[in-house]
Structure 1
Amino acid sequence: MLELQFAVPMAGAIICPLNTRLDLNMIATLLKYSETKILFVDYQLLHKAKEAVTLVKTTHSEPRPPLIISEVDSQCPLMFANEYRYERLVKAGANDLPIIRPDSECDSISLSYTSGTTSKPKGLIFSHRGAYLNSLGCVFMHGMREMPTYLWFTVMVGACRGVTHMGGAPTVLNMIANSLVANQKPLPHRVEIMTAGAPPPPSVLSKIEELGFHVSHAYGLTQVYGVGLW
């Protein structure tokens, strides 16, 4: 996912991350309306992805998008003719391909869908300019100073790596707060956490801060290109 955040815009395309917790019909619908050309999928979600792209073809009469599969499990079988292993595909690519830059800073860089908690998911398009401004907003509001170390995979909390910042849903905070004492390591410094979604329970916040974390709660409206905290 981290590589795709850079590779997709550099290829002149638009990235569209999907919520894997949505049901198959909704995922298939989003694949149709987003006009997905290539679908990257983690091997652990391959079965669900294959069912979704099959629905795209049978229900919506749309061509099945090619699948690019992460190569963590070498035993994961390829079933369709247009399936490819991610690492093998990268190795087979050319190293001198030119970067396709946007004609305008207002060109689209990403398409995101809401979680659909109140109705059907709604699509939000971000521009290159908006993504840049939103990144700056995160830096300022998250208190990132010179040479921060950001923990990308939020379930891998490692004090030994010198992490200074991380992000995680309230569920992740709850996992950390209620982890076994034997698995907890003292933090050498305060770690900033940005969380979003439902407000974390006060008991979880109290435990998290006792462990050496400082929590900032952000809310949505990312389409206005700013991070709101309260």
Structure 2
Amino acid sequence: MGSPYEQDLDKNAANHQPLTPLTYLERAAKTYPDHLAIIHGHQRIDYRTFWQRSLKLASALDRRGIGKGDTVTVMLSNTPPMLEAHFGVPMTKAVLHSLNTRLDAAVIAFQLDHAETKVLIVDREFSGVVRQALELAKVKPLVIDYDDPEYADDAPYPKGERVGTLDYEAFVAGGAEDFAWSMPDDEWDAISLNYTSGTTGNPKGVVYHHRGAALMAYTNTIHAGMAKHAVYLWTLPM
């Protein structure tokens, strides 16, 4: 017979909740719904809207059959859709794969195939290289175009032609704000997939779990010395 500390003390809904960053945004939206969450050019987005749009993205993905174990790939700069993807994708128990925007078509195609990408969201800024990658890749994901209103057509790197069959804003608009999003079944479940640059061979995939992502959020906050309601400029590509 084992220790009494090991008897009838299993995890249950009353004493355990998986550690995940999804609850951070939920709390922010409920506690500070009108507080500024995102600044992008002329756009100002509060936590209520951020949460609602993430829910609608999750709902739209769910309606397309995206769920646990599926990979959603994004080729985006640090734009609002990139932030929405970081929450909307794992809300369906799917895995977010963020592409390095500086990669060439061959490496992108390898990653799309290796990740078995089901949905690809791409900013028109990067449509040229993504079009080439899709021609090389074996997978045929649902491709969704994002047209950043803050990125001018006459910018140093002009926008390319659309490569997808859907527009991001229209896709999100088709989702439901009351979507019944899902916590991970286990905090060890995958939340994101990232790849090395592939300079010494094919890129290597690295998987983060919900617990690891949540803990990294804590440690980044502590390391950066963020005060309450800090306004923080994230300069690294997400």
Above 0.5 in TM-score? yes
Q: Distance in 2 between matches of 1:79 and 1:15?
A: 20
Q: Is the 8 A contact 1:54 1:64 kept in 2?
A: no
Q: Is the 8 A contact 2:125 2:160 kept in 1?
A: no
Q: Is the 8 A contact 2:124 2:161 kept in 1?
A: no
1:70: which partner in 2? 146
Amino acid at match of 2:106: N
Q: Is the 8 A contact 2:116 2:139 kept in 1?
A: no
Q: Distance in 1 between matches of 2:108 and 2:210?
A: 25
- The percent of aligned pairs where both chains have the same amino acid is 41
Label 1:105 to 1:77 Cα distance change in 2 as closer, same or farther (>3 A).
same
Q: How much does 1:68 deviate?
A: 1.1
Q: Is the 8 A contact 1:40 1:67 kept in 2?
A: yes
1:107-122 residue pairs with structure 2 within 5 A?
Answer: 107-122=189-204
Q: Distance in 1 between matches of 2:129 and 2:166?
A: 16
Label 1:19 to 1:76 Cα distance change in 2 as closer, same or farther (>3 A).
closer
TM-score by length of 2: 0.57
Q: Distance in 1 between matches of 2:163 and 2:100?
A: 23
Which blocks of at least 5 consecutive residues in structure 1 are unaligned?
57-61, 155-167, 170-230
1:198: which partner in 2? none
Q: How much does 1:17 deviate?
A: 0.5
2:168: which partner in 1? 86
Q: How much does 1:63 deviate?
A: 3.5
Label 1:102 to 1:139 Cα distance change in 2 as closer, same or farther (>3 A).
same
Q: How much does 1:106 deviate?
A: 0.4
**Deviation digits for residues 106-149 of structure 1 (CA, Å, limit 9, x no counterpart):** 00000011123444321110000000111111111111122211
1:114-153 residue pairs with structure 2 within 5 A?
Answer: 114-152=196-234
Q: Does 1:26 align with 2:107?
A: yes
Q: Distance in 2 between matches of 1:79 and 1:145?
A: 42
SS in 2 for 1:2: helix
Q: Does 1:36 align with 2:109?
A: no
Q: How much does 1:54 deviate?
A: 1.6
SS in 2 for 1:37: strand
RMSD: 2.2
Q: Is the 8 A contact 1:114 1:123 kept in 2?
A: yes
Q: Does 1:48 align with 2:124?
A: no
Q: Does 1:8 align with 2:8?
A: no
Which of 156, 177, 189 is equivalent to 1:95?
177
Q: How much does 1:94 deviate?
A: 2.2
Q: Is the 8 A contact 2:128 2:161 kept in 1?
A: no
Query: Whose RCO is larger (CA < 8 A, sep 6+)?
Result: 2
Amino acid at match of 1:67: V
Which blocks of at least 5 consecutive residues in structure 2 are unaligned?
1-81, 154-158
Aligned residues, how many? 148
Label 1:76 to 1:114 Cα distance change in 2 as closer, same or farther (>3 A).
closer
